[in-house]
A and B are shown apart, each in its own frame.
Chain A
Amino acid sequence: MAHPSVDPLAADRGSNGDRRAERLLGALVAITVALVLAMIVFVLREGWPSFAHNGWSWFGGGGNVDRQTEAIFTSANFNRSWVYEFHAWPIIWGTLLVAGLAVAVSFVAALFVAVFVVEFAPDWMRFILEPVIRLLASIPSVIMGLLGVLLVVPFINDVLIDDEARRSVKYIVSLNGYSLLSGVFVLSLMVAPLMVAVFVDGLRSVPRNWLEGSLGLGINRWRTFWKIGVRTARPALVAGTVLATARALGEVVMLAMVCGGVGFAPNPKDGLIFFLEPTKPIAAAILQSAEELTSPPMRDTIFAMASILLLSSLALSLAGWAAKQPMKKYGVRA
């Protein structure tokens, strides 16, 4: 320590160690932060050629995604010039559909379950429900995928899809149970517990006397809790939804297993068959093309897909941060 310190304590040996410890910890933190920032920069940089070649049409539709990826992959062989043409709309649409529908379904379910847990469940049920919710949240996604493949997909194939449905879209896509519906169903099961956990925390932090005031005015328990409890906990609802959306966007393995892995954009004009059509969300598309990383143009395309995922998760964590600000008033860190 070359420079003299004003702090009288700094002179003794302990403080020296103290400062060294602070520096060491600071260095650890700095390395981690630098590594994460490097990750963002590197992933974006690797994906850039794909964006640069396609421009905005990268996000547009047109052509068959699966055929495009194949063309990109094989263009690295035989010293041919590299192909970059890629129109990702089907997989973007698939991601939006699967994640959006799953989050919407589980939002409604999770809200009611959370209200039930906090306010209406008998004590013994609450005692069971809370650990059960935490357990469901921690079941590895590959196990949920296995269940989806062995239970949900056959059910959809045998019960929900009839021959007429199969015939009506025969020339476009084959229906075999691996579908948007199976993805949404299993994904809802996976994200709902996360939402319930955050919602429960938020609902519990509602000041008790606000509810008591309402009850004292003769308003019934449901209305009190719905109008005052749920409204006060709105920031927690947003935070939980953001968390669940991030999880849904990043879900890879389960979706790769149950969604069919066909780069097809489910068409809402098909009526209810829409839900039975296969799709391929971005994350699953990356996993399924992982073997093709050896081809440089394909590698760039895969990293471009990863950049989209990374940027949307960045945007989400920003949204989550913004949503959490009003919660601080109540001293809740959801």
Chain B
Amino acid sequence: MSAGTEFDAPTRPVAPARTSARDSSASWRLTDRIGLALAWTLGVGFLLVTGGIVLYLMIQGVRFVKPELFVTSPSAGFSESETGGFLDPLIGTFAMVVIGMSIAFPLGLGIAVWLSEYGNPSWAARITESVIEMLAGTPSIVFALFGMLLFQSPILGFFSQSMDGVVYGRSFLVAGIMLSFIALPLIVANVREGLQAIPGHVREASYAVGKTKIATTRRVLLPAARPSVMTGAMLGVGRIIGDTAVIILLLGATLKMVPANHTPILGALQGTGSTLTSFVYQNAPTGEANQPEKAFAAAFVLLSLVLILNVAVNITVRRGRKMAWGS
């Protein structure tokens, strides 16, 4: 990812006779020209397809998004006007991000710091590394099933509601906890990369003035790696708001928020609900509610969130590159 355009610069002076690829390609062999043409076609095609997808969603979204959708709860009904808005899913998405990140962020930060700064004994570090990598490759549906297995055991009954001794195992808390596993590998990978990019002499300088290792990490290394930390966190948030499988299995199939009991916040967290993704899923023509206009409107909101996160990541990465350490 690093040093892209900077690295290309030296090529140009090497072949000064060729001003551009196209000028000279007339003399190339046919296979080479076909290859070049394919690269151009696919490159431009890729751009067009992606642009098309985003534009289509934006246009459909703007057509169907109405301000009142943001403040009304979903309700059962047969037409687009009866079925309400997506206030509950919005709150649900927000709750997922808060719960998921409040677990994944400190945990990911800790694991990354341990891997990069301590990593002792080294066999344990190697195992951890492969476990994190495995976590990144595990299908989210497996997390969902494991979460159900875990939280249906009576010991963990606190996290969801139980009736007659049978633990339901589905709630905001359960879904958030399992979603943190999905965000974790991204956070670990990015923070670790940021920490490893800091040259050793920075650490040595800090030790030389008498700082301990943990103080160095907290006061010197983590602030220096802030762009990577933020990138990891934002990518994690993106993963959490985009996930659907875990939500459908672990948040219950209710579009509205259904609190488990009357305790103000805890009751809601122990109860079931929906997020924007499960709202889109239910409202797609294949889902149970089947209100495509609502689905488009919610997809538009979801996509806007993802877009904003993406832009933020881009800005952070660029800013981080600017203050990168000279080697």
Contacts and interface: CB of A to CB of B under 8 A. Distances in A.
Contact of A17 (B11, B140, B212, B284): B212
Given A26-B114, A115-B39, A143-B299, A321 B138 contact: no
Contacts of B38: 112
Contacts of A132: 46-47, 50-51
Interface stretch (B63-71, B80-88, B123-131, B261-269): B123-131
A32 B107 contact: yes
A91 to B, nearest CB: 13
A142 B141 contact: no
Contacts of A257: 281, 284, 286
A139 B303 contact: yes
A35 to B, nearest CB: 8
Main SS class of interface, A = helix
Contacts of B309: 138
Contact of B7 (A192, A204, A243): A204
A138 B143 CA distance: 20
Contact of A252 (B139, B299, B303): B139
A32 B111 contact: yes
B248 interface: yes
B215 interface: yes
Contacts of A333: 193
B107 A43 contact: no
A156 to B, nearest CB: 14
Interface string B70-98: 00000000000000000000000000000
Interface string B1-35: 10111010011001100100100110011001101
Contact of A142 (B40, B115, B145, B280): B280
Interface stretch (A56-64, A117-125, A160-168, A269-277): A117-125
B110 interface: yes
Contact of B53 (A129, A136, A283): A136
Nearest to B22: A120
Interface string A293-319: 100000000110010011001101100
Contacts of B102: none
Nearest to B134: A317
Contacts of B242: 138-142
B295 A146 contact: yes
B205 interface: no
B193 to A, nearest CB: 8
Contacts of B36: 120, 222
Main SS class of interface, B = helix
Interface string B110-151: 110111001010001001101101111111111101101110
Contact of B14 (A29, A130, A201, A212): A212
Give the one of B25, B124, B213 with max A CB within 10 A: B213
Contacts of A215: 11, 14-15
A305 B28 CA distance: 52
A26 B303 CA distance: 38
Contact of B110 (A29, A129, A145, A189): A29
Contacts of A189: 49, 53
B157 interface: no
Interface of A: 14-15, 17-18, 21-22, 24-26, 28-29, 32-33, 36-37, 39, 42-43, 46, 109, 112-113, 115-117, 120-121, 123, 125-126, 128-136, 138-143, 145-147, 149-151, 189, 192, 196, 201, 204, 208, 211-212, 215-216, 220-223, 226, 243, 246, 249-253, 256-257, 283, 286-287, 290-291, 293, 302-303, 306, 309-310, 313-314, 316-317, 320-321, 333
Nearest 4 Cβ contacts at the A-B interface = A250-B139, A140-B242, A116-B43, A21-B214
Interface of B: 1, 3-5, 7, 10-11, 14-15, 18, 21, 24-25, 28-29, 32-33, 35-36, 38-40, 42-43, 46-47, 49-51, 53-54, 56-57, 107, 110-111, 113-115, 118, 120, 124, 127-128, 130-131, 133-143, 145-146, 148-150, 184, 193, 212-215, 235, 238, 241-245, 248-249, 253, 277-278, 280-281, 284-286, 292, 295-296, 299, 302-303, 306-307, 309-310, 313-314
